[in-house]
Amino acid sequence: MYKKRVLGLTLALMLTGTSSIYANGFNDVKDSNWAAASISRMSEKNYVGGFPDGTFKPASNISRAEFVAIVNKINGFTDQQDSQFKDLNSSHWAYGEIKAATKAGYIGGFPDGTFGPNLPVTREQAAAILNNIYKLENSAKSVTIKDLSKVSPWAADSVMRVVSNGIMGGYEDGTFGPKKPVTRAECIVILDRIVSGIQKEAGKETGKTDPAGTPSTGTPSTGTPSTGTSSSTGGGSSSGGGGSKLPSAQQVKESLNSVVEELKSSVQPKLTTNLQKQTAEAISSSLSKYIANNNYSIDSDVENAKSKISQMSTAEYNAFKNAITGNIPAKDLDNLNKYFDLKK
């Protein structure tokens, strides 16, 4: 197995340059907010942002277009497929993101030929999209949902899977609230659980704003994947493709290989100072050794990388971080960094 600590070496690459988990900079998200930690982590990784007035609007509903943009960034979905949605044209800010999501196969449109980019996402739609992408294991035997009869047929299996896997939860009265819209805070908490591997005990999560809400700042497929058939309710179909299961040892190895390749071909040519180049080379060399022999100890390499980073000026460090995060797919950075957090 690829040891979790290996992800730490990678990075030095995902360094955020902040010392506080609550340094999110949003003037409407207090440290005491139930979603503050998740909002900070996801904003530091540039998966989600705020508004021009400095707010995050955690209680606002999330739209389908917003969700698509976040999910694509997390998973590195960039290939696009033309889609003829009646209510979507090239002037929409998420036009390319929606085409990429359609290509990935985790979202589709409604029976009337629309996509509804500005419609809010419901909890059952979020469940369907998450299951479409991550193909969650079926361990639903331990889950009881009082309002399961109110869940749309196309989403029932997905709801059971996300709840039993601790990705989403229910309310204190035992209901799931399938038709309720998902807030931005709820979205962030759920996608943060997937990204960070933080999952709650199945079915036991409660909270006044339903912390077991939906994925990050977006809306799950209220249509079905490109390989499925759209339902009248606009929910996701479990038959869709796109995405993968949570990372296995082989997938982690592939991510490591990808990082090494991108470091050598795309990142290092853009670095200009000796410290930047030496740090990138140290990371690349250590990862290569670890890939060849997973018993190789990277501890001293991690400390070496951290030492070099600590010597960088703020401008030097920011350029180094931008070169890495701008050239290595988010899904690879995420698979690596989520187990080990390094900061300057």
pLDDT tens digits for range 291-338: 888 777 777 877 888 888 889 888 888 888 878 777 777 666 665 554
**What is the predicted pLDDT for the residue at 150?**
94
Domain boundaries, the chain: 6-11+247-337, 59-196
Beta bridge partners, 49, equal none
134 or 298: which leads in pLDDT: 134
Task: Give the model's confidence band at 210: pLDDT under 50 very low, under 70 low, under 90 confident, else very high.
Answer: very low
Averaged pLDDT, 136-154: 83
Q: Who's near 156: CB < 8 A, 6+ residues apart?
A: 148
Beta bridge partners, 183, equal 61
Task: Give the model's confidence band at 232: pLDDT under 50 very low, under 70 low, under 90 confident, else very high.
Answer: very low
Crossing angle, helix 95-104 and helix 64-75, to 10 degrees?
Answer: 60
Q: What is the DSSP string of 39-50?
A: HHHHHHTTS---
Beta bridge partners, 120, equal 63
**Residue 63, SS3 per DSSP:** strand
**What is the predicted pLDDT for the residue at 176?**
93
**What is the predicted pLDDT for the residue at 235?**
36
**What is the predicted pLDDT for the residue at 217?**
28
CA distances from 213 to 2, 181, 193, 333 (A): 31, 9, 11, 25
Give me the sign of the Cα torsion angle 321, 327, 330, 335: negative
Residue type, 127: A
Residue type, 231: S
pLDDT in tens, 2-52: 444 444 444 434 443 333 333 367 888 887 788 888 888 888 888 888 888
**What is the predicted pLDDT for the residue at 259?**
80
205 or 255: which leads in pLDDT: 255
Cα distance between residue 125 and residue 306, in whole Å = 42
Q: What are phi and psi of 44, to 5 degrees?
A: -65, -30
Task: Give the model's confidence band at 248: pLDDT under 50 very low, under 70 low, under 90 confident, else very high.
Answer: low
Centre a 10 Å sphere on the Cβ of residue 46 and count the other Cβ atoms it contains.
13
pLDDT in tens, 165-208: 888 888 888 899 999 999 999 999 999 888 877 544 333 333 33
Q: For residues 35 and 41, is the Cβ–Cβ distance under 8 A?
A: no
The residue assigned the tokens 């996300």 is 162
Q: Which token pair is 1?
A: 């197995």
Q: Which token pair is 141?
A: 């035997």
Q: What average pLDDT is seen over the chain?
A: 73
pLDDT in tens, 120-130: 989 998 999 99
Model confidence, pTM: 0.55
CA distances from 229 to 43, 115, 222, 235, 236 (A): 34, 14, 12, 10, 9
